[in-house]
């Protein structure tokens, strides 16, 4: 086993943390801080803070500020806003017990911290206090999605759409449709969201989602245009940069993709971005540099765990491919327990199921892995890597026909789904005799 | 090149740096920069807050047209707090909404006539994102790149069921946002071009306008015990709204011999399923805030007047005067408050109560009351029966009127409550659409406009003379022993229960967090 923390990777990690934190903490938001707070003329976080300094008994103001903090963390990926959000949301509840705004905010906060059961409980309480609450309905859909309860999520999203349509509901409705494989409907609803939105942050988010739909179908032209649109609306938008890097790499512009990815990890060296960067480097033959990136992801996860934070799905995937497979399996099992009611159900969080299937595979437990890989692909969600994982597991089990079908399927959907894994899918398919 | 190059330095320095990084992660017992909180494909974080003010109904007005007394003017405003320099594209009407002015002319609380505005976007040059590409001198100027048009339809109902639908106007122009003097050297001319006669005596207008509502939102800061010196500032001064306005021959609006109509405005928006959901509702000013408690506001916004019995208890036993009693020691008038039921739900007998009325929250106007030659800002309370709560004129000081009403003015319990803002910051027009010209993007926000009326507050800006409890008075009819109520205990007592007021009071007026109901 190679040493986990080489001097180089530690220094790299420190550099990443320092850079990342400096950028994330110090940067004034380029997007709106928050929606207009409850009618006060000065919108945004500074306006709310000012108001609350003058009116500390204002429960609705505290709730708005808490939600604005959660939203700010979403926009800037800066989790330093979470403890602040928690404090002010509880303050709101002390001022007005049971108010739905604060409950919805606590639900959003729980979801952001990946406590999806907690998010669901808060959302339900908020909706009981106010059945028309739009944010609470949005949080409820989010929680059900993350827990893999896609049928319930669709019902909740439709109900929210019936009582309070709008961008927050449309974007969620589209994602549920996408996860169920209903891509045309997802695209239509995102089109409604785009026609309805005026906020640049909203519009950038919508463009990225439309880009993802195109990407998952291998439509590089359309995906590239949507990511570019998101970047025009919100310069530096990280998910859009991530999409741009994918499209560039898929088109063979490795140098351009590397430059974009370097910029991303400089801004926010999260494991998923660091791993993507490493895989791109590895695919370009720069294995040593890639190893350093993988080590950063691993070190990151260790430090996070030491801080009482469980590894994320991305960490599980990254460890499966580039780190400690035992760690990967532990993380994947934990995530699966959180997001799936059990192995026997047909529907479950496709992301958790895929991560667990893959972690089992890299630990040589393909017999166990198969049912999770099937779970991950059962909803119709179009994700080439899920299909690729299923194909390799089938191959390892000697199910050659199924493996050929699924590997070919992954490449047919998006022939360049990953600079590192798409060529491996091709190689495996060739080994099986090609796509028939 | 890759960014994560190994950095130099001794191993001790590295250890220290790593410890610092770990400390950062664990700061405050909560991981600061932890992977779990990042954006992740496994956890798609969609917007929780969306900037969507276009569906927000702020005020409704209904009055007999002062210069054309055989017509009635209906006005509804939307999209609050438009900063004139804040980007005009943001201030457009929504394309996926129905903006309705509803009229009940038989007292059954069901709309008999609905005037429905629906808007469309027009972009002359898709290659630029500029609102205008040069000075704009007419509505069809090629330099006016982004425009909106609207279709106006009249929906007639009988017993709540749609009987017929007529198109009154198609592709009518919306007056543009007032970008600034360089772009629109003669804005008044542009707006005049957007006033459209429809052929049947009806005139229509849609476009930007100064926000005609005037009040000091900080009046409610006083209830918190905050700074007493800042009373008398029109919080909405300098902000614009979007207006839809109609001037309709009154004979088109009324039925039979009953001259009383009930008016409200609703906004419904298109859902993903293709149905429309009502997300905003407004009739009388402030009822949503003063009368309906916070937890019920979304339900109120989604409801129709026909369902208003569920809210009646909030009128007969209102929260506001009890809070004022608690904080200001002014005794709340005893309930049940039939006076408020008349003011808010049924209309006043002999003035604006329909013959067969079903109690409902509607702005009720007796169209047979002649316009006042010299309108009194206190309306009926000031002896001027052509004003609020008989309909609502742009100049009616509804904050003072409602505060005085809830404290028992209609019961003969004289008081002079007010917010010390007695007139709008911009002068209103003398002909349709009456609303003031929008503030220009080249104005400094909050600057006074020409034509501004005297505020009528002698002590405006002078904390020594004006206070919450006498601020609105034009005649001194205070119920106090000597006509004055000391402010000292007010500030001291204000903390207790003050938070409850945020739910009920004015600064929430603009918020209307709402939900809807299918209403196709």
- Digit-coded pLDDT (tens) for A345-362: 667 899 999 999 999 999
Q: How confident is the model at residue B151 (pLDDT cuts 50, 70, 90)?
A: very high
Q: How many CB pairs under 8 A join A and B?
A: 328
- pTM score over 0.90: no
Q: Which of A236, A256, A276 is the last residue of a domain?
A: A256
Nearest CA in chain A to B43: A146
Mean pLDDT of B418-442: 87
Assigned domain for A394 exists: no
Q: How confident is the model at residue B22 (pLDDT cuts 50, 70, 90)?
A: very low
Distance from CA of A158 to the nearest CA of B (A): 8
What pLDDT is stored for residue B1 in this prediction?
A: 34
Both A170 and A148 in one domain: the answer is no
Both A138 and A223 in one domain: the answer is no
A352 three-state secondary structure: helix
Cβ atoms of residues B53 and A198 within 8 Å: no
CB pair distance less than 8 Å for B80 and A352: no
Distance from CA of B277 to the nearest CA of A (A): 6
- Digit-coded pLDDT (tens) for A187-221: 999 999 999 998 888 999 999 999 999 999 999 99
Both A239 and A142 in one domain: the answer is no
**Per-residue pLDDT for B496 more than 60?**
no
Assigned domain for A103 exists: yes
**Per-residue pLDDT for B11 more than 50?**
no
What pLDDT is stored for residue B393 in this prediction?
A: 97
Both A65 and A155 in one domain: the answer is yes
Assigned domain for A192 exists: yes
CB pair distance less than 8 Å for A168 and B50: yes
Assigned domain for A404 exists: no
Q: Containing H/E element for A44?
A: helix A44-54
Q: Which of A97, A132, A163 is the last residue of a domain?
A: A163
CB pair distance less than 8 Å for B14 and A83: no
Both A145 and A203 in one domain: the answer is no
Determine the Cα–Cα distance for residues B420 and B214; give it in Å rounded to an integer: 10
If we measure between CA atoms, which residue out of B354, B305, B307 comes closest to residue B107? Answer: B354
What pLDDT is stored for residue B409 in this prediction?
A: 87
Assigned domain for A183 exists: yes
Across the strands, what pairs with B159?
none
Both A97 and A157 in one domain: the answer is yes
Both A158 and A185 in one domain: the answer is no
Contacts of A139 in chain B (CB under 8 A): 48
ipTM (interface pTM): 0.85
Q: Is B39 on the interface with A (CB under 8 A)?
A: yes
What pLDDT is stored for residue A263 in this prediction?
A: 96
Residues of chain A with pLDDT below 70 are 1-43, 77, 307-311, 341-346, 436
CB pair distance less than 8 Å for B50 and A166: yes
Both A75 and A152 in one domain: the answer is yes
| Max Cα-Cα span within chain A | 73
If we measure between CA atoms, which residue out of A28, A21, A262, A291 comes closest to residue B20? Answer: A21
Both A226 and A138 in one domain: the answer is no
Burial class (CB in 10 A: 0-12, 13-18, 19+), B198: middle
Q: Is B30 on the interface with A (CB under 8 A)?
A: yes
What pLDDT is stored for residue A43 in this prediction?
A: 58
What pLDDT is stored for residue B196 in this prediction?
A: 96
Both A195 and A182 in one domain: the answer is yes
Cβ atoms of residues B258 and B95 within 8 Å: no
Both A135 and A220 in one domain: the answer is no
Assigned domain for A361 exists: no
Both A149 and A219 in one domain: the answer is no
Q: Is B58 on the interface with A (CB under 8 A)?
A: no
Assigned domain for A136 exists: yes
Alpha helices in A307-399 (DSSP H): 313-322, 325-339, 350-362, 366-377, 384-396
Q: Which of A256, A287, A312 is the last residue of a domain?
A: A256
Contacts of B123 in chain A (CB under 8 A): none
A254 three-state secondary structure: helix
Cβ atoms of residues A404 and A436 within 8 Å: yes
Across the strands, what pairs with B209?
B241
Assigned domain for A170 exists: yes
Determine the Cα–Cα distance for residues B487 and B478; give it in Å rounded to an integer: 14
Q: Is B499 on the interface with A (CB under 8 A)?
A: yes
Query: Which structural domain, as residue segments, surrounds residue A246?
Result: 165-256
As for how many domains chain A has, the answer is 2
Across the strands, what pairs with B203?
B197, B247
**CATH number of the CATH domain containing A130:** 1.25.40.10
Contacts of B500 in chain A (CB under 8 A): 96
């Amino acid at each position: 086993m190679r040493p986990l923390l080489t001097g180089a990777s530690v220094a790299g990690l420190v550099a990443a943390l320092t850079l990342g934190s400096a950028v994330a903490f110090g940067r004034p938001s380029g997007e709106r801080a928050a929606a207009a707070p409850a009618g006060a003329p000065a919108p945004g976080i500074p306006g709310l803070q000012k108001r609350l300094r003058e009116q500390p008994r204002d429960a609705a103001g505290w709730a708005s500020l808490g939600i604005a903090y959660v939203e700010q963390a979403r926009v800037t990926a800066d989790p330093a806003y979470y403890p602040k959000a928690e404090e002010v949301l509880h303050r709101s509840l002390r001022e007005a017990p049971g108010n739905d705004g604060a409950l919805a905010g606590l639900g959003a906060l729980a979801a952001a911290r990946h406590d999806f059961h907690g998010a669901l409980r808060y959302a339900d309480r908020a909706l009981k206090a106010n059945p028309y609450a739009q944010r609470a309905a949005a949080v409820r859909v989010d929680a059900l999605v993350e827990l893999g309860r896609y049928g319930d999520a669709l019902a909740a999203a439709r109900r929210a759409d019936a009582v309070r349509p709008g961008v927050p509901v449309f974007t969620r409705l589209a994602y549920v449709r996408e996860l169920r494989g209903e891509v045309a409907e997802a695209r239509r609803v995102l089109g409604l969201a785009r026609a309805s939105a005026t906020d640049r942050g909203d519009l950038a988010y919508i463009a990225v989602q439309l880009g993802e739909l195109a990407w998952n179908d291998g439509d590089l032209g359309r995906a590239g245009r949507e990511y570019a649109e998101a970047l025009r609306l919100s310069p530096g938008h990280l998910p859009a940069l991530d999409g741009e890097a994918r499209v560039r790499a898929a088109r063979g512009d490795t140098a351009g993709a590397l430059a974009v990815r370097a910029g991303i990890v400089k801004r926010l060296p999260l494991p998923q971005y660091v791993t993507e960067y490493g895989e791109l480097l590895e695919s370009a033959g720069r294995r040593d540099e890639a190893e350093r990136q993988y080590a950063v992801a691993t070190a990151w996860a260790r430090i996070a765990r030491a801080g009482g934070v469980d590894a994320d799905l991305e960490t599980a995937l990254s460890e499966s491919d580039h780190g400690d497979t035992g760690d990967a399996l532990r993380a994947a099992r934990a995530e699966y327990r959180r997001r799936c009611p059990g192995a026997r159900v047909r529907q479950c969080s496709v992301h958790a199921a895929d991560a667990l299937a893959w972690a089992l595979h890299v630990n040589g437990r393909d017999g166990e892995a198969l049912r999770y890989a099937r779970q991950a692909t059962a909803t119709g969600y179009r994700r080439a890597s899920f299909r690729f994982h299923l194909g390799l597991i089938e191959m390892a089990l000697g199910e050659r026909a199924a493996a050929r079908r699924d590997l070919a399927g992954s490449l047919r959907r998006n022939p360049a789904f990953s600079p590192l894994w798409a060529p491996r899918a091709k190689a495996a398919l060739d080994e099986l005799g090609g796509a028939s | 090149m890759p960014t994560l190059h190994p950095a130099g330095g001794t191993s001790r320095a590295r250890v220290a740096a790593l410890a610092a990084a770990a400390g950062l992660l664990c700061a405050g017992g909560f991981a600061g920069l932890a992977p779990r909180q990042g954006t992740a494909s496994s956890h798609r974080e969609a917007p929780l807050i969306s900037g969507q003010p276009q569906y927000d109904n702020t005020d409704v007005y209904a009055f007999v047209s002062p210069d054309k007394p055989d017509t009635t003017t209906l006005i509804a405003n939307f999209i609050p707090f438009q900063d004139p320099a804040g980007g005009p594209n943001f201030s457009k009407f929504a394309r996926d909404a129905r903006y309705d002015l509803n009229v009940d002319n038989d007292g059954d609380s069901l709309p008999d006539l609905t005037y429905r505005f629906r808007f469309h976007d027009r972009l002359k040059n898709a290659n630029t994102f500029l609102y205008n590409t040069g000075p704009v001198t007419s509505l069809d100027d090629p330099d006016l790149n982004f425009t909106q048009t609207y279709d106006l339809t009249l929906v007639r109902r009988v017993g709540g069921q749609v009987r017929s639908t007529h198109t009154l106007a198609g592709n009518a122009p919306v007056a543009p946002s007032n970008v600034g003097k360089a772009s629109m050297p003669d804005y008044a001319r542009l707006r005049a071009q957007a006033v459209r006669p429809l052929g049947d005596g009806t005139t229509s207008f849609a476009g930007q306008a100064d926000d005609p509502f005037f009040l000091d939102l900080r009046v409610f800061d006083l209830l918190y015990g905050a700074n007493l010196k800042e009373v008398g500032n029109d919080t909405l001064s300098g902000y614009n709204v979007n207006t839809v306005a109609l001037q309709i021959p009154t004979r088109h609006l009324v039925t039979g011999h009953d001259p009383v109509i009930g008016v409200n405005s609703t906004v419904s928006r298109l859902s993903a399923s293709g149905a429309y959901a009502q997300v905003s509702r407004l009739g009388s000013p402030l009822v949503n805030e003063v009368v309906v408690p916070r937890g019920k506001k979304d339900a109120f916004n989604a409801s129709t007047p026909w369902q208003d019995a569920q809210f009646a208890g909030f009128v007969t036993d209102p929260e506001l005067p009890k809070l004022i009693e608690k904080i200001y020691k002014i005794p709340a008038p005893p309930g049940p408050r039939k006076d408020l039921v008349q003011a808010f739900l049924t209309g006043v007998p002999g003035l604006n109560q329909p013959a067969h009325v079903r109690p409902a929250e509607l702005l009720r106007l007796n169209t047979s009351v002649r316009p006042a030659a010299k309108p009194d800002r206190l309306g009926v309370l000031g002896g001027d029966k052509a004003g609020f709560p008989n309909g609502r004129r742009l100049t009616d000081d509804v904050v003072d009127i409602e505060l005085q009403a809830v404290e028992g003015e209609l019961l003969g319990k004289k008081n002079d409550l007010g917010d010390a803002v007695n007139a709008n910051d911009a002068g209103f027009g003398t002909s349709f659409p009456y609303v003031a010209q929008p503030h220009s993007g080249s104005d400094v926000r909050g600057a006074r406009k020409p034509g501004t009326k005297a505020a009528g507050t002698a002590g405006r800006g002078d904390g020594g003379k004006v206070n919450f409890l006498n601020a609105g008075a034009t005649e001194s009819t205070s119920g106090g022993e000597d006509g004055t109520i000391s402010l000292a205990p007010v500030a001291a007592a204000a903390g207790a229960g003050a938070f409850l007021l945020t739910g009920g009071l004015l600064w929430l007026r603009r918020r209307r967090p709402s939900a809807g109901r299918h209403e196709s």
